[in-house]
Structure 1
Amino acid sequence: MSFNELGQSIPPDTAHAVSVSLPTWKSNVGYEEGEEWVLSKMKTGYPRYEFYIHQCIANFADTITACHGKAEERAMVFPSHCVASRFVDFLKSHGPSLRPSEVRIVELVPSPHPKNGIMNMETLAKIYAALFPEHLFKLAKSFWQHSGEGVSSRQAEFAHRAYEEGALSERKLAPAGANNDSRPCKGPRRYQRGASTDKTVAQPIAGRAPTQTYLEPEANGTFEGREYSQFIEERFGRNLDLSFVQNAKLAIRRRIAGSLTADVDLKEAINTLKILQKWGPGCLFYGHGSSQDLDDLEGRLKRGDRYLALFCEFPSNPLLKSPDIERIRLLADKYGFAVVVDETIGNFMNVHVLPFADAVVSSLTKVFSGDSNVMGGSCVLNPGSPLYTLLKDTLAAEYEDNYWAEDAIFMERNSRDFVSRIDRINVNAEAICDVLKAHRRVKEVHYPKCSPTRSCYERCRNPNGGYGGLLSVTFFSTPETVTFFDRLETAKGPSLGTNFTLCCPFTLLAHYGELEWASQFGVEADLIRISVGLEETSELVMRFERALEAIACLVIE
């Protein structure tokens, strides 16, 4: 399977992939610079990155704007009124002074009597679209990028089709004093069927990309225009019917909690810093996570400073350092703050951090899923924490389950073999670490096993746990770095934790506009991050050896 076509989804031809191919160092720089030769070829993108909003979401937003918006307006689509309201508040607090009518929410609800038979009305959820002035789009996108609270691409695809078939229609939620003249609309007329009395044809706003076209459902209820990729997912994805969605979510919870420890079938069984900077009172950032940083924190606490919570990764991305989580726990108990640990990189088969945390969070998009085709996240509360009752009651009062049904089905399916995959990935990553460390032109390998903070990692490593599938490497010169990256025969794109090996120039993608800031924490501009997959170990080793040989030739010349 080829992963190396610029702009192709990773894996190829995957409609809801969470990575995209940027196969050369030059293409990564071009992506960050917004160069047309790169952006024009982007068929998909990492869902949380700045330059890309999934086409299914963008198409749906354009359709809503064309029907309900005004000239020079844009829309963003959310799964609940609470999230849409947070978005509106964000625009008002971070943007220029806005009149009430300039930012408004359109609520789309299931129609009482849809005229088609293809929609699962029990699954169809309400959709909330926020309309806002087009000049605020960059600010609006920062909310979407950092909060992660927009609709998923699968939900947008499903809801878009429902909207255009008349299964979703508007219910007004306009603020007091806003213009209420526009009437309910079921989408452009070419998508309406049966006895619709709406004779208005909504025209796309000038300059907007045309919305995605769907064919009419046939009399037998099948949908002739359904994308080929969707058929492939449903036919070969072994997905359960959507009526199983609550069981799927329960299985995922049990799997995370450790109740499911074998490969079983269901029938048997953030970017935190940016969020804290943009929302709330702010934060104190310790970019090294070192004992010196903890000394400074303890000094502040002794002088009377107080903090609500401490967030840390275990280990960190991309330097794979492990903080002294035992000392952090002692400080938290003494000074009364919460400890939230993100163990995505270590993953809960390798490390057991819950005893030291009040809450453990993880990106399920990564190795828990592995298939690079669905997003998700988890939060586990520690029942032994002194804050457990408070946190549990708060979640019970405020948490909204907005996880889209189809995404839950895919996540459950993908994670069935999670346990067995981790062992193979651990073995492969150690092998690649050894190959890289043995090469004379490799400057440094970042990996928990060879990290200066290994002792901190070992305190939390499970008896049968390994060191995870992520490592980073630097070389002695930029030409060597570029040669190695371009020659390496693996998939290359953002994200990590995939079942196939995936590499990226991490610092360029994550901190292109702040390279100097990243360097002060030891994150070099030329750092390459490697997420190791399930390939046969000897074959994977040979691929890395061939890339290293290319460096040797470069040095000789």
Structure 2
Amino acid sequence: MPGVILPFNETVGDTIPPDTPHAVSVSLPTWDANVGYEKGEKWVVDKMQCGYPRFFIHPSIQKLAGCIVDKYASPDSDKAMLFPSKRCALRCIEFLREQNPDVDHVRIRELDFIPHPEKTPVNDKQKILPRLSAVVYPSELWPTAKTYWQHVGDGISSRRADFCQKAFDENVMVERNAVRGSPPRMTKGPRRYQRNVSVDTTKPNSLNETGSGSEETAPEAGIQDLAQFVEERFGRNLNMEFASQAKLAIRTRIAGSLTVDVDLPESLEHPSDPAHERSRDVPGFSVDDVYLHSCGMNAIFTAHRTMRLARGEMKSIMYGFPYVDTLKILEKWGPGALFYGLASQSELDDLEKRLESGERYLAVFCEFPGNPLLRSPNLKRIRELGDKYDFGVVVDETIGNFLNIHVLPYADVVVSSLTKIFSGDSNVMGGAMILNPQGRYYARLKEILADEYEDNQFEEDSVYLERNSRDFVSRLGRINHNAEVIADTLRAHPRIKQVNYPKFGDTKDYYDACKLPDGGYGGLLSCTFYSMEDAATFYDHLNTQKGPSLGTNFTLSSPFVILAHFTELDWAAKYGCEASLVRFSIGLEHTEALKAVFEYALNSISKSE
């Protein structure tokens, strides 16, 4: 009911969705809770069961890192960061050493953990085997290590941590130097997975347990004994065949050629639903141009790194006010970035003058549309400049998504966070990088990726992501509709200063130029208030889930600028991101019920006078 206020103080720090061990979001249900989190106040941070995984290291990951430090390093002076591969770990070490040149580099080291060759039966070669790399570093370098974890997105997932913790405890996974001989080759993938709804909703009894469900043994509740489920379905019996199918299904779905909502492997055999036909519609494009990543930011980092390897070291361009970590990647890796934070035509005029004068750049990075202001860049003009002056174009389509918009023809690389609306269930991370086969750098990018690319998405995460995304097409229409209704509701209220949505404003034409005939304007919008007091009152009375992330099947709200730019509010305000901004990721709720929830919160502002 819209008039019933949730017991806010009791939900601070709870997982979103509730009772979900691998939740992507966390409850910050009041304005004060968001401010308290940013200030590090104990009444908030001590209750945090989880957080957005790149900002808050999951308890399962913390536990395994602690066990490794206890056994292989000094708990009094060392910490560890955990990565899915040696290459990822070595990149972290390089960053730590570059950022801390005065620290003894010997104290920063890498440990490889592999399956114990004497405890891995021959017939396990078709099973997922535990493997990870740990970077052990001096505790005082924690802020730098945390920065790397947040920006790059290379770290292990919480499901991989649970999987490897069990193997570590049983001495099935050991440090490479602890065994003799060559380790067995790691293979990939589970055998079968049948459930088509979210079942990751059982609260763990300890940090090392995973919540999951089984339709076969508990068709009504969807839940069975966790330890048995993990061991039978996701333990050392994780078979490579099904995981490979799941990853192929995800890539095929992203490519636009898998639209049916049926189980594997049938969906791969008959992937197309004529009623929901989709295509990337670029000559020569195929599923081989889709690369999976552990999260969206890792796809962005990889795109930037691959462009640098392909074209050499040059400054990048960030066009439009971006999600915070994208700009940080461009600034901290490579020669830096030119930042155009308004996504205006005058900024493109300035760029063109620079190019005419002889300046050269690696690539323009932009979001379509941007987050949180939902402004759309003029991709046609950016592409024309790129063709004329030889720079790449990297477009983040997360907010618009390829069911609403078609941006690949304008880009050399498209990146996307699969954590968001592609998954919807807010219980798994994922990312994608898509190459345009018509791009001028395509052949060189493919050549580099043939040597450099690693598919580090943990197989169990792939299984969840594939399952969650089966109804992606059918969900989008309802979310588009609901978002338009809420945008209109907010625009009609006199205490709202501005509503940000691709359907409105001076960049609508640029969005419409890429909008598909049956596409919509997406599920993300934001608004600013005339006063912080109004914003806080509205937010506190808004009876939706409230926390970081977006693209969930349920409506999720956040005071985005407070949460993302708390230490730089004046800087953000220069680009139109005011501290009173509240962002909404609209979900699948009944339209009239959702509208009533927003109207109740809006009415609370008037009553507060």
> Shared topology, TM-score over 0.5?
yes
Separation in structure 2 between the aligned mates of residue 125 and residue 366 of structure 1, nearest angstrom? 27
Q: Tell me: CA distance 1:139–1:391, structure 2 relative to 1, closer, same or farther (3 Å).
A: same
1:400 matched to 2:454? The reply is yes
Distance in 1 separating the partners of 2:485 and 2:146: 40
Aligned CA RMSD, in angstroms, stands at 2.6
Indicate whether 1:482 and 2:531 are aligned. no
CA 1:315/1:79 → structure 2, altered by over 3 Å: closer, same or farther?
same
Match of 1:282 in 2: 336
Once the two structures are superposed, residues 389-445 of structure 1 have per-residue CA deviations (whole angstroms, 9 ceiling, x without a partner) of 111111112111111000000000000000000000000000001110111111100
Q: Structure 1 CA distance, aligned partners of 2:561 and 2:512? A: 27
Q: SS at the partner of 1:144? A: helix
Letter in 1 for 2:42: E
Counterpart code for 1:24: T
Task: Report the Cα offset of residue 97 of structure 1.
Answer: 2.2
Is the 8 Å Cα contact of residues 20 and 44 (structure 1) preserved in structure 2? Answer: yes
Other-structure match for 2:567: 513
Deviation at 1:281, TM superposition (A): 0.9
Match of 1:498 among 545, 552, 565: 552
SS in 1 for 2:176: strand
Mapping for residues 433-452 of structure 1, pairs under 5 Å: 433-452=487-506
1:300 matched to 2:354? The reply is yes
Q: Where in structure 2 are there 5+ consecutive unaligned residues? A: 181-205, 211-222, 268-296, 298-324
1:20 is aligned, of 20, 26, 29, to 26
Amino acid at match of 2:132: I
Aligned to 2:254, the other structure's residue is in SS state: helix
2:90 is paired with a residue whose SS is helix
- Which residue pairs with 1:267 in the alignment? 265
1:153 aligns with 2:158: yes
The residue identity in structure 2 corresponding to 1:510 is A
Question: Which secondary structure state, in structure 2, belongs to the residue aligned with residue 384 of structure 1?
Answer: coil
Question: 1:285-328 CA deviation, whole Å, 9 max, x = no partner?
Answer: 11111111101111100010000111000000000000100000
Quote the offset at 1:112 in angstroms.
Answer: 1.4
Identical columns (%)? 53
Residue 364 of structure 1 and its aligned partner are, at CA, apart by: 0.2
Aligned residue among 91, 109, 112 for 1:107: 112
Query: In the alignment, residue 305 of structure 1 is paired with which amino acid?
Result: E
1:35 equivalenced with 2:89 (yes/no): no
Q: Is residue 2:423 matched to residue 1:359?
A: no
- 1:250-283, CA deviations, whole angstroms, 9 ceiling, x for partnerless residues? 0001100110123232222232211111111111
Return the alpha-carbon distance in structure 1 between the equivalents of residues 561 and 266 of structure 2.
Answer: 43
- CA shift, 1:92, in A, is 0.6
The 8 Å contact of residues 242 and 409 in structure 1, kept in 2 or not, is answered as no
- Is the partner of 2:339 in helix, strand or coil? coil
Cα distance in structure 2, aligned partners of 1:230 and 1:504: 35
Residues 85-124 of structure 1, C-alpha deviations (whole Å, 9 max, x = no match): 0111111100142334201111111011328999997201
Partner of 1:67: 71
1:191-270 alignment runs, 5 A limit:
243-269=241-267, 270=297
Alignment of 1:93-132 (within 5 A): 93-114=98-119, 122-132=127-137
Which amino acid counterpart does residue 466 of structure 1 have in structure 2? G
Tell me the residue number matched to 2:82.
77
Q: Confirm or deny that 1:317 pairs with 2:351.
A: no
Q: Which residue is equivalent to 1:45? A: 51
**Quick one: distance in 1 between partners of 2:164 and 2:230?**
18
Conserved 8 A contact 1:3-1:11: no
Structure 1 residue ranges (4+ consecutive) displaced by more than 6 angstroms after TM superposition = 115-121, 226-237
Q: 1:9 aligns with which of 15, 37, 56?
A: 15
Do residues 543 (structure 1) and 594 (structure 2) align?
no
Q: Distance in 2 between matches of 1:378 and 1:554?
A: 45
Amino acid across the alignment from 2:14: Q
What does residue range 326-475 of structure 1 map to in structure 2 within 5 Å?
A: 326-475=380-529
- Counterpart secondary structure, 1:497: coil
Determine helix, strand or coil for the equivalent of 1:62. Answer: helix
Using a 3 Å threshold, how does the CA distance of structure 1 residues 62 and 17 change in structure 2: closer, same or farther?
same
Cα distance between partner residues in 2 of 1:213 and 1:443: 47
Identify the residue that residue 527 of structure 1 maps to in structure 2. 581
Instruction: Give, as a single letter, the amino acid of the residue that structure 1 aligns with 2:66.
Output: D
- One-letter identity of the residue aligned with 2:244: Q
Q: Secondary structure at the match of 1:448?
A: coil
2:87 and 2:137 map into 1 onto residues whose CA distance is 17
**TM-score, structure 1 as length reference:** 0.87
State the shift of 1:554 in Å.
1.5
CA-CA distance at 1:480 after TM superposition: 0.8
Change (3 A) 1:287 1:424: same
1:168 maps to which of 168, 173, 176: 173
Asked if the contact 1:3/1:491 (under 8 Å) is kept, the reply is no
Could you tell me whether the CA contact under 8 Å between 1:469 and 1:531 is conserved in 2? yes
CA distance in 1, matches of 2:502, 2:516: 14
SS where residue 129 of structure 1 aligns?
strand
Quote how far apart the aligned CAs of 1:519 are: 0.7
Query: Does the C-alpha gap of structure 1 residues 123 and 232 become closer, same or farther in structure 2, counting only changes over 3 Å?
Result: closer
SS of the equivalent of 2:433 reads: strand
- Distance change (3 Å), C-alpha of 1:136 and 1:184: farther
- 2:15 counterpart letter in structure 1: S
- Aligned counterparts of 2:207 and 2:498: Cα–Cα separation in 1: 47
Asked if 2 retains the 8 angstrom alpha-carbon contact of 1:365 and 1:372, the reply is: yes
Q: Is residue 133 of structure 1 aligned with residue 100 of structure 2?
A: no
* Shift in CA distance, 301/245, structure 1 to aligned 2, threshold 3 Å: same
How far, CA to CA, are the matches of 1:228 and 1:544 in structure 2?
A: 39
Cα distance in 2 between the residues matched to 1:278 and 1:118: 45
CA distance in 2, matches of 1:428, 1:322: 21
Rounded Cα–Cα distance in structure 2 between residues aligned with 1:274 and 1:9: 27
2:199 alignment counterpart:
none
Taking a change above 3 Å as real, the CA distance of residues 235 and 7 of structure 1, as seen in their structure-2 partners, is farther
Question: Any idea what the Cα deviations from partners look like across 1:175-210, whole Å, max 9, x if unmatched?
Answer: xxxxxxxx679xxxxxxxxxxxxxxxxxxxxxxxxx
Q: Report how far residue 214 of structure 1 moved.
A: 7.8
Please give the secondary structure, in 2, of the residue aligned with 1:503: strand
Find the aligned partners of 1:236 and 1:78 in 2 and give their Cα distance: 23
Deviation, structure 1 residue 243: 3.5
Distance of aligned partners of 1:240 and 1:536 in 2 relative to their CA distance in 1, 3 Å threshold: farther
Deviations, residues 477-535 of structure 1 (Å, cap 9, x unaligned) = 11111110000010000000000000000001111111111111000011000000000
Q: 1:452 to 1:472 in 2, by over 3 A?
A: same
- 8 A contact 1:426–1:468 mirrored in 2: yes
Task: Report if the CA contact (8 A) 1:315-1:322 is conserved.
Answer: yes
